[in-house]
Structure 1
Amino acid sequence: MRLADKVIIVTGSCTGIGKAIAERCVAEGAKVIIHGLEQDLGEAVAAKLGSLKSVLHIEDLTAPDAPQHVVDVALQTFGRLDAVVNNAALVISSNIHTTDAAFLRKVLEVNTVAPLTLIKAALPHLSKNRGCVLNIGSVNAWSGEPNLLAYSISKGALMTMTRNLGDTLHRENGVRVNQINPGWVLTENEAQRKHEQGLPEDWYKAIPDVFAPAGRIIWPAEMAAAAIYWLADESGPISGQVVDLEQHPFMGRNPPKDASTLTPTTS
């Protein structure tokens, strides 16, 4: 198995992409710390994976001592720490008119500052085991949609952080840092968001080709499959890299003028 005996923190893993990554990590031989804010959903994930392979920690990562708490849970439960997956994020709509300083700071705290503080708390243990960090970003990091201003800014900052730490921590601590940028993924939260925006319950079954050449959008399990490569030793010395995972060229694309108004929120 590709992750045999590794201990991995996966933030935001009670639902969606994080949940899929946690499940795939266990399938590949790892033990995982499930993290999130939804106690009932987290307990369901932990029950599915089993107490020998997982432990649940519920806490807001923006709390001052939360990153250290998550690291301590890993060490106390499994005795080591090999990798951190920074997946937890606040996906929230805003534009230039609705984004004030307080709102932007809130989004940055969750999506950029919390991943940094968790890396700092985990670093001594990752260094000991020549471990790695995988940040889960978004294709919105490159520019972003008009109604995702604060979110896009936070993911752009995360991408710069990945490249910076991917260089410095690899040289100084032997810790690799990489990032995947998911495109439009059919998570539970995304399905609910679009339904709340007025789309029918089965909106994802009829997405225009311009957004989904494959006839569907990406599944969380497909993101999880990609994540395993970066968490496994087979990715070798590669560090400081950001990979976009979408089903069409994201930058420089020219969609038809009659493209549907149905736009992705993405991860």
Structure 2
Amino acid sequence: MAGFTGKTVIVTGAGSGIGAAIAQRFHDEGANLIVIGRTEDKLRDATKAFDDARVAIHAGDVADPAVGEAAVRLAIDRFGGLDVLVNNAATAMGGDVESTSIEDFDRIMATNVRGYFAMAKAAMPALKKTKGSIVMTSSASGRGGDWGMLAYNISKGAVDNMVRAMALDSGRHGVRVNAVSPSLTATPMAKNLQNEALLAKFMDRIPMRRVGQPDDVAKVVLFLASDAAGFVTGVMIPVDGGVSASNGQPNMRS
């Protein structure tokens, strides 16, 4: 894995779960970090062991374009530029088309789609200068539907096509755009899925027979942002323990 010493990385949703693990991995590889999340206390807790000289905390809602614009300015003013944007902030809720309110639908789309777009729009001029990259956290739910997760499925499907479209448009500028697509991962957002009955159902679908950990995802994000993936763009890499290897038919083995 190529080191990131001297590189500057923005990570959204960095206060917990996958985002905190991503920030930790980049810090360990020597990167300068701008960490973004809604709650400053969570960001401070997640980065309390980091080198203060290499981290800046920026609390805010990524759906607000001013948050991304300010974070990019901070990266440039404090560290001299921007090399990687990790669009990771996300929210989820259950519901079908009848039970999902317009307000809840808008809330999901604001964070999971508008937020990713706004951050990428703010970061792109700086990334063109460094020939940097964007890595987005999508989901297995972007590749196919879930029962009772309509708004979330729509948002992650949009992320997948955002990656493809941005990769096509930005490739000529040397900017790569990719995504990771986790399945069930042990994060606070997925806490309600980690009960005994649901875990048994997941284990029947996950060939590796375990729940993903945030660091499983973080390591693939690091790869996609590194020079080792220098000719990789427009892809969504499943980090799902083999879930996507299935054609959807049930497990007929004991």
Same fold per superposition (TM over 0.5): yes
CA contact (8 A) 1:8 1:83 kept: yes
Shift of 1:43: 0.6
**Cα distance per residue 1:142-183 (max 9 Å; x no partner):** 222122110110010110010011111112x22110111111
Q: Which residue of 1 aligns with 2:35?
A: 34
What's the secondary structure of 2:48's corresponding residue?
A: helix
Provide the rounded CA distance (Å) in 2 between the counterparts of 1:207 and 1:49. Answer: 38
Q: Which residue of 1 aligns with 2:63?
A: 62
In the alignment, structure 2 segments of 5+ residues that lack a partner are: none
Change (3 A) 1:239 1:215: closer
CA contact (8 A) 2:205 2:251 kept: no
Aligned AA (1:255):
P
Aligned AA (2:34):
I
Provide the rounded CA distance (Å) in 2 between the counterparts of 1:164 and 1:35. Answer: 25
Query: 208, 215, 221: which one pairs with 1:214?
Result: 208
Q: Which residue of 2 aligns with 1:118?
A: 119
**Cα distance per residue 1:85-131 (max 9 Å; x no partner):** 00001111121221243332221111011111111111111000000
CA contact (8 A) 2:180 2:238 kept: yes
Change (3 A) 1:164 1:203: closer
Provide the rounded CA distance (Å) in 2 between the counterparts of 1:253 and 1:13. Answer: 33
Shift of 1:256: 3.9
Q: Which residue of 1 aligns with 2:250?
A: 255
Provide the rounded CA distance (Å) in 1 between the counterparts of 2:18 and 2:93. Answer: 17
CA contact (8 A) 1:207 1:216 kept: no
Q: Which has the higher mean CA deviation after the structures are superposed, 142-151 or 161-170?
A: 142-151
Map 1:171-250 → 2, pairs under 5 A: 171=172, 173-191=173-191, 193-194=192-193, 199=195, 209-250=203-244
Aligned-pair Cα RMSD in Å: 2.2
Change (3 A) 1:118 1:64: closer
Identify the structure with the greater helix proportion: 2
What's the secondary structure of 2:35's corresponding residue?
A: strand
The alignment's TM-score, normalised by the length of structure 2, stands at 0.91
Provide the rounded CA distance (Å) in 2 between the counterparts of 1:258 and 1:93. Answer: 31
Provide the rounded CA distance (Å) in 1 between the counterparts of 2:158 and 2:209. Answer: 32
Provide the rounded CA distance (Å) in 1 between the counterparts of 2:17 and 2:205. Answer: 20
Q: Across the two proteins, how many residue pairs are aligned to each other?
A: 252
Q: Matched residues, percent identical?
A: 28
Aligned AA (1:61):
V
Provide the rounded CA distance (Å) in 2 between the counterparts of 1:203 and 1:148. Answer: 15
